[in-house]
Every structure is written in structure tokens, then in C-alpha cells.
Homo-oligomer: A and B are copies of this chain.
Amino acid sequence: MDRFTQLCKNHGLKITPQRAAVYAALKNSKEHPSADQIHKQLLHSFPNISLDTVNRTLITFARIQIIDVVEGQGDPRRFDPNREDHHHFYCLSCNTIFDFHDPDLEQLPLPEEITRTCTITGKRLCLTGYCEDCRQHKQKHQPINFCKPY
């Protein structure tokens, strides 16, 4: 039994050709693709596969924590008036984002390969979890995005 089959069985998910194809497509990608990109790619092998199935399947995978949603994405755009060096904590329950500072982190040198090859214009540590108010009342919002837990 392959790994994907095992994962589905562990979570009571049926093993469908569509699911296997979505999983394989994402696993083989280094692009951090969108549902739409995966859908377009799979249309070659599954001419009738729907975008909804692809999106729903990806979200299912994120909920059972076999893949992740890239942080923040898929949510309405939010703005930040604070231009000082700071970092973000995202509460998965109430969607609050609060700022924090971390002088140690600001000092931390970045990997040499990146500083050598790329131009860096911004740096932010993104923590996810449950804030002080919400830690007792988890899953109020059944977060899909930017979630480790579900």
C-alpha cells in the first residue's frame, strides 16, 4: 500500500483517482501551485475533472495535515500600518493578527546562499496558533488557510 493510500485510510477518506492525481500533482510540484494551476494540469489526464473537486481535495488534504496552505493566501487582503521591523502571530480561531518584536531574530544571519543569490527586501516571522483569548475555544472558525491544525 503506497503512502497516499495509507494517509487516506488513516483519515477515513475514500481513495479516488481524482484525489490520487491531485496529491501526485502537488507532491511533484515545486511551484507552490494554486488550485487552478493543478486543475489545468490535470485536465490532460482527467478531461472532466472539475475545479471544485481540485480545490476541495486540496483543502481536505490541508485539513488532515498532509499538505499546507501557503501562509495568508486565499484570505482577503489586510493592511499593516506598522513599518518597523516586527513579526506576526496569526490566531487560527479569531483571525487576529498581532505584532511582536524579537531582537534575537532581527540579529540572526540568513543562509549565505540566499543572501548571495537573491535581493532581500523584507523579512517576517509568521507564527500561527491560538491567542490567549482563544486557546480554550479552539476551532471557532474551522480555519482552512494557513493552518497546521484543523
Interface size on A, residues (CB 8 A): 73
Across-interface contacts of A81 in B (CB, < 8 A): 26-27, 29, 67
A11 within 8 A of B: no
Of the candidates A35, A89, A111, A147, the one having the most CB atoms from chain B within 10 angstroms of its own CB is A111
Most buried by B among A27, A29, A80, A149: A80
Decide yes or no whether A122 CB sits under 8 A from chain B: yes
Q: How many copies of this chain?
A: 2
- Which of B33, B62, B76 contacts A34, CB < 8 Å? B76
Contacting B at CB under 8 A, from A101-124, are 101-102, 104-105, 108-111, 113-114, 117-124
A126 and B71 form a contact (CB under 8 A): yes
Q: A110-B102, A120-B129 are in contact. Are A73 and B76 (CB under 8 A)?
A: yes
Chain B residue contacts of A62, Cβ below 8 A: 79
Shortest beta-carbon contacts, A-B, top 5: A72-B72, A74-B77, A122-B128, A120-B129, A117-B132
